[in-house]
Structure 1
Amino acid sequence: MHDTLTLTVVLLSSAVVAVVLFRRLGMPPILAYLLSGLAAGPFGFGWINDVEGIQHLAEFGIVFLLFTLGLEFSIPRLLTLRRIVFGAGPLQVVLTAAAVFAVMRLLGFQPMTAGITAGALALSSTAIVIRDLIGRGAVNTGYGRASTGILLFQDLAAVIMLVMLPVISTSNGNALWTMTGITLGKSLLLFAGIYVVGKWILPRLLEETGRTRSDEVFVMTALLLALVAAWVTHLMGLSMALGAFLAGMMLGESHFRHQIEADLRPFRDLLLGLFFISVGMLVDPNLFAEQWHWIILAAVSLMLFKAVLIFALLRLLGEPTDTATRSGLVLSQCGEFGFVLVALAVSHQVMSPGKAGLLVSITVLTMAVTPGLLQHSGKLSRRLLRPWMDIPKDSPVSDDITGHVILCGYGRVGQNLMRYLNRFHLKGVAVDMDLVRLQEASAAGEHILFGDASRKDILERAGIHRARLLVVTFDDARLAERIIHSCRDLNSKVRVLVRTRDDTHLDTLTAAGAAEVVPEVLEASLMLVAHALMMLDVPFERVLAMLRKTRRDRYRMLQGYYHGDSFPTSDSAGKPYRLLHAVTLSDKARSIGLSIHDCALRDVEIRAVKRNEQTRERPDDTLRLEQGDTVILYGPLEAVEAAEVRLLGG
């Protein structure tokens, strides 16, 4: 009991520290778990030596991973992307695996080891790529759809590999084909059985469970479904992961899908973390120290090969060059299913721990550089394609055009603005660096220039000397500031309108020379306030006057709000975050009887004083505070805390 508790504390402690650190560095948490396993395992500090025992428990992480993968696996989505899923997907997996297999055979590796390695390295990381696409809102972009399609087939291929690996490891020669046929027959029988159960029995069972209105009963039922499916396939001599995947796929079409997924996610994440920790225990740092040059060469070569191959396949399918390039970049790494195959191969004794550690090291290296590739895939794509891309020849704005609007960025906001300019017969010129958008807009007859709007020569080509207004339509405050400075150097009279996410950079951009800054969050708040007031029968004239006054005052009334338990210490510019905080003066408060000026509060602003159910907005410094007053402070956290201490005294 004592050893088990110690083991649990060691694993959880190392995992928590590593995950927090890697999150701060913007690295995938998978790498943190692998590092924890390396540190705790026999090749690290030697805290844990019973690797096999941990691996048995960690197998349940794979069961839940495949179950939730089945829940998310949408057949309609598969059919929508069928051209990529069944076109580029199979060719990418087969050609990558064939190339890796051939290289490893030339290097003298056994066929079994070469085959498992080839299958593992052919797959990309679904967890990392899909999470990043969702976070960037890029799932429905060209490269997002192409990447998702290829990942869908890779997930199917991973399931097949997991099913076939135990068969291949225990058979040889003619018996292999016999066992393969038997396995496929069992799989089809299992699919039919789970389909019947999932179609007519499980929904009724879940509805009955839902009627109990008991969260724990529903959670236990979801756990039971995943484990029973794995148990049935295990009894049939198949992979537990296959049963879990099929059961999840059947339930994925039901309206219980999201609830089951939410209930099982904590168990999945915990057990998957344990699984990746067990994989990390296979890595020998001495092996990396001896073979580091070969590991780096293999990782770089593999990523280049996969990127070029995916690019070529998508181009053959008629995808745009930019889409093919970005998809190749974001899918060039190896994935988490590679770890699953390696761990399964080691447990079936068809791969030595040493070779497994080498394969894990290559995979980890490719995953470590993936966040940077994902973040800068657009810039890398543009740099790679610029010499070969057929960029429409744009000419400078004609000297006859004056008083026009320059739109820096031609995304959704820029295009909407251009539509209204056209409606009011006003001229607009867009500047954008997206090559696909440039081609599409140029083909539609739009006047759009390719280039970086912060460069003076690009602004001159857009006719900045004759322009009436320049609008920055994208949310990038630093680039917007550079654009404003370039604009001011060329034409100090042109007015500049800037779009930002919030009021974080409002003062900076205004100081740089922006005539108006439109913070999205605050404008959305204003629109919501305006609609609410008009629905409460407040006259439209009063609402309009309020909107104008708020904008004229630079949104001061909207700046700052009362935070909950989650409070950021600094904003996106790295400056101390400002908040509102209410302080009620008790009978022992030191500030009672003092004027606001005499309180000598530093770096904070008193937004209001509430007294006897009346609120005095922006009170004068001569106002004397009384017992029971509630003072609304606005400023950085430390300054607000210091002001509260001065007000209450004590």
Structure 2
Amino acid sequence: MKPALAQAASATDILLTDGVILLGVALIFVMLFRRLGLGAVLGYLIAGALVGPQGLGLVGDAQSKLAIAEIGIVLLLFLVGLELNPQRLWRLKRDIFALGLVQVTLCGAALTAIIYYSTQFSWGAAIALGLPLGLSSTAQVLPSLKSSGRINSPFGEKAFSILLFQDLSIVPLITIVAALSRNPADALGPPGWQLALYTVAAIAGLVLAGKFILNPLLKLAGRLGERELFIVVGLFTVLASAALMHSLHLSTALGAFVAGVMLADSPYRHEIESDVEPFRSILLGLFFLAVGMVLDVHAILASPLFIFTMAAALVATKVGIIFVLGRVFGMETKQAFALGLLLSQGGEFGFVLFTQAQHALLIAPQAASMFSAIVTISMATTPFLLLLARKLEFARPSNEEEPAGPDEAVQGSALVIGYGRFGQTVAQMLMGHGCGVTLIDRKPAQIEMSSQFNMKVYYGDGTRVDLLRRAGGEKVRIIAFCIDGNGLDTATLRQVTEAFPQAAIFVRAYDRQHLLRLGGMDIAGVVREVFESAISMGTQAMKALGLPDKEITEVVRRYRENDRQRLDAQDAAGTLHAAKDLMFRPGHSMRASDGGFEGESG
């Protein structure tokens, strides 16, 4: 075998072996910890530590895996950006730039002081270690908020605002470390003001690219109707924005977040979100596996008292400071304490900044290992603290109540799938009552036409459970399938009813056969698309013949009754030929067969 081929085969073998081991061990531990109610993150961390170089040594090269897995954080910020349009971000400006700034400053300063006065580190080293500890784990907190449905609540918005400012603060923190650097090579790096200009220019460039390149590209992919194209476009968007930021020595996650915000108002948002989500889940799991793998067990064993005491001090300090800030910014006592528990851990960006500090000759490699272990241990405490918060019912403010009924319907109380001539009428009637309706259609031309009437219609295949979940299917009261044709089958509907048991499901049936196929489903209602309109025309036609209203009413009543009986018989017999005798035929009118109407001679 040639050397190049042998090297490629060896790399493939390593990749496959490492992948099988990592996924297998992760599967066992995540299932175990989920069963124990401790969350998936702790399972990933322990699984990574077990199979990593410091554990059983079954998988190596932890740093490279960590670098790859950080794309999971990038994808996470992109998906969060998709849920926050620019108007909503502007509404959160106080929490982002006031609460976020004060949190990063106070927590960083307090932890710097603790490190300086409790160790032999210099002020420069204490600053380089303490400021990064003021950041929290975006990769750990945001998935928890999203899975609990709290990301859009006032509580979730405050947590997200702090995390977003923490991500923005990466640039000034890197600048501070560079300013304190003892490494002559760092003098060649870009100054802080230049990094700030790079940040502004990169964000502006991403905004323009989203408007003039990305949206037309998505529109073209929608016209072609290929789901794979949306996956490619979504991943390209994330990676391109992250690559741009990385080339400018800026936060890759910030670039992905900006790209997501630019698409938050796009009609293609839900489709992209559904297609990118599986990649995010896998890579974020790999990230926590890699964090567990890089955990320096020897550093912990060398100074266990110091590391566990410092981890406890980190958690306690952040809980206390964030609690006070929460109260100052108008949160209830329980909510402020819950916010402190949620953001009490160290963050993944700490690993990056510790590496920067080591490169700047501010700390030794041993110190970087110890404080990386402190961050990892603090991450491991989060699932337990979240359990405490939920047990004490801190996760939901007392003044937040679920709407009592349809008369109090809130935004997003109904999903209408298919916004053609049928769906438009259904949606208009719901909106007329004040219901919040999310509209989904997979025809780009329909979406473009609807936008001319100021109707926001999202692109996507509304029969996909993952897309419905992204569109808020777990919270709505009504899901109305107004799709043309008879492609909606019982298997799809069964998945929808199982996934969203709280929602009343309504279906537009194409014809009698389609109606019969859906007859056994546990759904709120099925409507044949032309049944009522045909009865309406028949009624008008009889009026044009001069028939009395009483006769017309009786014909309609008997027709409906016969139709219902025929459907029951056809469903029982499994054939359309059942109960044919109940059909009206020429020469067999109600006058002839039933002895005439009351008052008529027959």
TM-score higher than 0.5: yes
Pick 1 or 2: higher relative contact order, CA cutoff 8 A, min separation 6. Answer: 2
Q: Would you say 1:198 and 2:210 are equivalent positions? A: yes
Structural mapping, 1:258-297, within 5 Å: 258-297=270-309
Q: Alignment identity in percent? A: 37
**1:221 & 1:360 partners in 2: Cα distance?**
35
Q: Is the 8 A contact 1:283 1:358 kept in 2?
A: no
Please name the residue that 1:12 is paired with: 23
Deviations 1:412-464 (A, max 9, x none): 58999xxxxxxxxxxxxxxxxxxxxxxxxxxxxxxxxxxxxxxxxxxxxxxxx
Distance 1:158 1:27, change over 3 A: farther
Structure 1 residue 97 displacement after superposition: 0.5
Q: Would you say 1:104 and 2:120 are equivalent positions? A: no
Structure 1 residue 6 displacement after superposition: 2.0
Structure 1 residue 144 displacement after superposition: 4.3
Q: Is the 8 A contact 2:81 2:258 kept in 1?
A: yes
Which of 23, 28, 40 is residue 51 of structure 2 equivalent to?
40
Q: Is the 8 A contact 2:136 2:343 kept in 1?
A: yes
Write the letter of the residue equivalent to 1:38: A
**2:222 & 2:136 partners in 1: Cα distance?**
37
Deviations 1:553-582 (A, max 9, x none): xxxxxxxxxxxxxxxxxxxxxxxxxxxxxx
Which of 266, 273, 289 is residue 254 of structure 1 equivalent to?
266
**1:348 & 1:51 partners in 2: Cα distance?**
23
Please name the residue that 1:58 is paired with: 69
Q: Is the 8 A contact 1:233 1:239 kept in 2?
A: yes
Q: Is the 8 A contact 2:49 2:294 kept in 1?
A: yes
**1:217 & 1:60 partners in 2: Cα distance?**
20
Structure 1 residue 203 displacement after superposition: 0.5
Write the letter of the residue equivalent to 2:193: G
Structure 1 residue 15 displacement after superposition: 2.3
Q: Is the 8 A contact 2:145 2:156 kept in 1?
A: yes
Structure 1 residue 212 displacement after superposition: 1.5
**1:273 & 1:347 partners in 2: Cα distance?**
28
TM-score by length of 2: 0.57
**2:403 & 2:71 partners in 1: Cα distance?**
49
Distance 1:141 1:6, change over 3 A: closer
**2:390 & 2:156 partners in 1: Cα distance?**
12
Please name the residue that 1:367 is paired with: 379
**2:502 & 2:260 partners in 1: Cα distance?**
43
Structure 1 residue 312 displacement after superposition: 2.0
| Structure 2 residue matching 1:202: 3-state secondary structure | helix
Deviates more, 1:59-68 or 1:340-349: 340-349
Higher share in helix = 2
**2:365 & 2:28 partners in 1: Cα distance?**
26
Deviations 1:370-428 (A, max 9, x none): 3343343376589xxxxxxxxxxxxxxxxxxxxxxxxxx99858999xxxxxxxxxxxx
Please name the residue that 2:318 is paired with: 306
Please name the residue that 1:228 is paired with: 240
| Structure 2 residue matching 1:98: 3-state secondary structure | helix
| Structure 2 residue matching 1:326: 3-state secondary structure | helix
**1:243 & 1:530 partners in 2: Cα distance?**
43
Distance 1:344 1:262, change over 3 A: farther
Structure 1 residue 613 displacement after superposition: 4.8
Write the letter of the residue equivalent to 2:65: I
Q: Is the 8 A contact 1:283 1:356 kept in 2?
A: no
Q: Is the 8 A contact 1:78 1:152 kept in 2?
A: no
Please name the residue that 2:104 is paired with: 93
Distance 1:282 1:90, change over 3 A: same
**1:168 & 1:335 partners in 2: Cα distance?**
22
Q: Would you say 1:154 and 2:134 are equivalent positions? A: no
Distance 1:525 1:92, change over 3 A: closer
Q: Is the 8 A contact 1:58 1:275 kept in 2?
A: yes
Deviations 1:159-189 (A, max 9, x none): 7657987898697799489611222222222
Distance 1:316 1:196, change over 3 A: same
Q: Is the 8 A contact 2:135 2:166 kept in 1?
A: yes
Q: Is the 8 A contact 2:292 2:376 kept in 1?
A: no
Write the letter of the residue equivalent to 2:26: A
Q: Is the 8 A contact 2:318 2:344 kept in 1?
A: yes
**2:302 & 2:154 partners in 1: Cα distance?**
42
Write the letter of the residue equivalent to 1:259: E
**1:105 & 1:14 partners in 2: Cα distance?**
39
Please name the residue that 1:24 is paired with: 35
Q: Is the 8 A contact 2:76 2:139 kept in 1?
A: no
Q: Is the 8 A contact 1:162 1:241 kept in 2?
A: no
Structural mapping, 1:480-559, within 5 Å: none
Aligned residues between the structures = 413
Deviations 1:463-516 (A, max 9, x none): xxxxxxxxxxxxxxxxxxxxxxxxxxxxxxxxxxxxxxxxxxxxxxxxxxxxxx
Please name the residue that 1:321 is paired with: 333
**1:368 & 1:529 partners in 2: Cα distance?**
43
| Structure 2 residue matching 1:45: 3-state secondary structure | coil
Write the letter of the residue equivalent to 1:333: Q
| Structure 1 residue matching 2:303: 3-state secondary structure | helix
Please name the residue that 1:358 is paired with: 370
Structure 1 residue 201 displacement after superposition: 1.9
Write the letter of the residue equivalent to 2:261: M
**1:119 & 1:374 partners in 2: Cα distance?**
24
**1:77 & 1:414 partners in 2: Cα distance?**
23
Please name the residue that 1:114 is paired with: 126
Cα root mean square deviation, aligned: 4.4
Q: Is the 8 A contact 2:51 2:293 kept in 1?
A: yes
Write the letter of the residue equivalent to 2:313: S
Please name the residue that 1:77 is paired with: 88
**1:304 & 1:254 partners in 2: Cα distance?**
42
| Structure 2 residue matching 1:333: 3-state secondary structure | coil
Distance 1:378 1:236, change over 3 A: closer
Distance 1:88 1:47, change over 3 A: same
**1:173 & 1:343 partners in 2: Cα distance?**
15
Structure 1 residue 91 displacement after superposition: 0.9
Q: Is the 8 A contact 1:33 1:273 kept in 2?
A: yes
Q: Is the 8 A contact 1:284 1:354 kept in 2?
A: no
Write the letter of the residue equivalent to 1:251: L
Write the letter of the residue equivalent to 1:96: C
List alignment gaps of at least 5 residues for structure 1: 383-408, 417-520, 538-611, 615-650
Structure 1 residue 96 displacement after superposition: 0.7
Write the letter of the residue equivalent to 1:98: A
**1:320 & 1:100 partners in 2: Cα distance?**
26
**2:383 & 2:376 partners in 1: Cα distance?**
12
Q: Is the 8 A contact 1:299 1:366 kept in 2?
A: yes
Distance 1:47 1:164, change over 3 A: farther
Structure 1 residue 197 displacement after superposition: 1.3
Structural mapping, 1:416-431, within 5 Å: none
**1:235 & 1:92 partners in 2: Cα distance?**
29
Q: Is the 8 A contact 2:322 2:340 kept in 1?
A: yes
Structure 1 residue 343 displacement after superposition: 6.3
Deviations 1:321-346 (A, max 9, x none): 34333333333233344445456767
Deviations 1:211-244 (A, max 9, x none): 2211112211222222223333444454544543
Write the letter of the residue equivalent to 1:46: G
**1:31 & 1:68 partners in 2: Cα distance?**
23
**1:157 & 1:16 partners in 2: Cα distance?**
35
Q: Would you say 1:332 and 2:344 are equivalent positions? A: yes
Distance 1:62 1:349, change over 3 A: farther
Structure 1 residue 94 displacement after superposition: 0.5
